[in-house]
Structure 1
């Protein structure tokens, strides 16, 4: 009897404990439900409004995006600097080198973002043709890629709004300014991408790196007296298909950053433009150093074959002080290349100030900062790089 009573008492106690625990769990669950928002509410509270680079207000949900499409010249390049390329759900044909039918005018040029991500891009469906002749977004192709956000460099606000309404996903427009890689607008575009994709640290790191690089170059050259500076001419700037030895700029950004004396002055406007042949001839006697952007070689060569005397009035050509910089404008600006070019120009014009700089090592450093990979070998091996940065042999280069 005693054992039975003892067992009964124990069972009663256990039942009471179990019931008490269940009650507490129900209360805890209820409290938890009151304090924790639903998934929908959590999503709503994480939404924020950003202003894109052409002033449009767009509501985004930072860090939530799983399918990204980039459209327009330079958009995919800039996204590649900050975003995760594995999130891309489509790519323009011009950036998919596995396609046989696509714009191929830049295939021989070093576009580092394509080189670095060629395998990823080749696996993606088309979100449009892309390229210089594609002046409008292809909404149907974009829709077929099922993006949940679009990064664009089409700068017509009304068209961007219309595209956003048609796609029913945020369309974020990026933009840079006249100073290119050194422009505040480029920094703002990087930071905007960092905010949207929760890569703020990466964006800040890149902006800080570029800023320090610029400061280093400028500081090394800031104390050079004007009368001690050689006069320098840069040509081959502008559009890939039209540039030649007459295409130049009196406000060339790399010259400004490196305190280089530009022999071209007195033009009515800034920016890349073609000067008259007479102007080119008149500059010749004062030009100590000449830089040719690799983009122009394909156009200059037939001109030189037709008239081998075309550079005879150029002092730099006659004295063999002609140098090749890498093409930095191919489906818009290669920003890392523009930075490397600035180092190369500064080192060439002021060698004593940059004895510690090896341009191949600097190329690897810069591409790693931008794209996470050392890429000097790949860049210099592209056909339109002609082996990389070099002093041109004026007796044979264009023959």
Structure 2
């Protein structure tokens, strides 16, 4: 039963926090020392992590661990999402057992469940690991059952963050909140996978029923509107006031609690009858309270990230 641990690479520290083992953490990557509300675990436990020694850069600067700093801390175990070869080298050079886990980019995925299960075992947090997996499976079943009998709507996700901020053209094929709710994502075209910049002619040609915009990138979308107001006024979703916000959930990989909250926001906006009992902001707080022990919607709203309706024709 390890008393001291560190996480190296995207998702590692987040999963430790989900498993309620953050008090065992003895060092963090430099990227984890900034207080970033969109990176929920980092924000909630910022006061603890801000005072810990640095064990590498992390974040967009890459995940090269500082072997000397890690050796000095002598943790009982290292959890990492770096590749096996690098992990073997890290174990040899520091003399600390290294456990490799997957980076999870989808919302409900076996790779996430396996990471939770394995880390739960190592951390002696099996009960919490089971709670998380049960919660996720129950949530997935709730979402899919709500849309079982609805007529699927078409949708477009705009301002999607990937390697920085993007405007209206920034979208994603296979966008998880659309996929789980069986929506027709107009960005799903044959050769595309993951985030990319779409040809705006396709959006106007397909005329999606609903448009969702990541609120943290809305200022960039506003610039697009100023440059081409006629284009936006001709979109059916804009005319019908079916444009809504999302909270960006990718920051140092997927923040699962925000991704799930976005699923409920999409469902609530696209299928109000099927999600009539859901207040997306309250649901967000309920979900973050389960994962990291604290509601965060008020803190997110302070940085312009909240669930709302947009009027792009105004």
Q: CA deviation at 1:116?
A: 1.4
Asked if 2 retains the 8 angstrom alpha-carbon contact of 1:92 and 1:128, the reply is yes
| Aligned counterparts of 2:119 and 2:231: Cα–Cα separation in 1 | 46
The alignment status of 1:189 with 2:189, answered yes or no, reads: no
- Give the counterpart of 2:100 among 150, 173, 186: 173
Which residue of structure 2 lines up, in the alignment, with residue 79 of structure 1?
Answer: 16
Q: Are residues 267 and 278 of structure 1, via their aligned partners in 2, closer, same or farther at CA, if it must alter by over 3 Å?
A: farther
- The CA deviation string for residues 95-141 of structure 1, in whole angstroms up to 9 with x for no partner, is 2137xxxxxxxx4x522101211111122111122211224222223
Asked if 2 retains the 8 angstrom alpha-carbon contact of 1:151 and 1:171, the reply is yes
Which residue of structure 1 lines up, in the alignment, with residue 41 of structure 2?
Answer: 113
Which residue of structure 1 lines up, in the alignment, with residue 87 of structure 2?
Answer: 160
- The CA deviation string for residues 178-221 of structure 1, in whole angstroms up to 9 with x for no partner, is 5x230011011111111001100101001100110110111011
Asked if 2 retains the 8 angstrom alpha-carbon contact of 1:294 and 1:327, the reply is yes
Normalization by structure 1: what TM-score?
0.74
1:74-153 matched pairs, under 5 angstroms: 74-97=11-34, 107=36, 109-153=37-81
Asked if 2 retains the 8 angstrom alpha-carbon contact of 1:232 and 1:260, the reply is yes
- Give the counterpart of 1:271 among 194, 203, 228: 194
Deviates more, 1:143-152 or 1:188-197: 143-152
- Residue 324 of structure 1 aligns to a residue whose secondary structure is strand
Q: Are residues 135 and 282 of structure 1, via their aligned partners in 2, closer, same or farther at CA, if it must alter by over 3 Å?
A: farther
Which residue of structure 2 lines up, in the alignment, with residue 236 of structure 1?
Answer: 159
| Aligned counterparts of 1:176 and 1:131: Cα–Cα separation in 2 | 13
The alignment status of 1:392 with 2:300, answered yes or no, reads: no
- Give the counterpart of 2:3 among 43, 47, 66: 66
| Aligned counterparts of 1:333 and 1:264: Cα–Cα separation in 2 | 20
Mind listing any 5+ residue stretches in structure 2 that lack a counterpart? none
Mind listing any 5+ residue stretches in structure 1 that lack a counterpart? 1-62, 99-106
Q: CA deviation at 1:359?
A: 1.6
Q: CA deviation at 1:384?
A: 4.0
Q: CA deviation at 1:311?
A: 2.3
- Give the counterpart of 1:218 among 139, 144, 157: 144
- Residue 89 of structure 1 aligns to a residue whose secondary structure is strand
- Give the counterpart of 2:217 among 296, 316, 323: 296
Asked if 1 retains the 8 angstrom alpha-carbon contact of 2:11 and 2:104, the reply is no
Asked if 2 retains the 8 angstrom alpha-carbon contact of 1:260 and 1:346, the reply is no
| Aligned counterparts of 2:149 and 2:101: Cα–Cα separation in 1 | 36
CA radius of gyration, larger in: 1
- Residue 95 of structure 1 aligns to a residue whose secondary structure is helix
The alignment status of 1:327 with 2:248, answered yes or no, reads: yes
Normalization by structure 2: what TM-score?
0.92
Deviates more, 1:216-225 or 1:237-246: 237-246
| Aligned counterparts of 1:173 and 1:296: Cα–Cα separation in 2 | 33
Q: Are residues 244 and 135 of structure 1, via their aligned partners in 2, closer, same or farther at CA, if it must alter by over 3 Å?
A: farther
Which residue of structure 1 lines up, in the alignment, with residue 286 of structure 2?
Answer: 365
Number of equivalenced pairs: 314
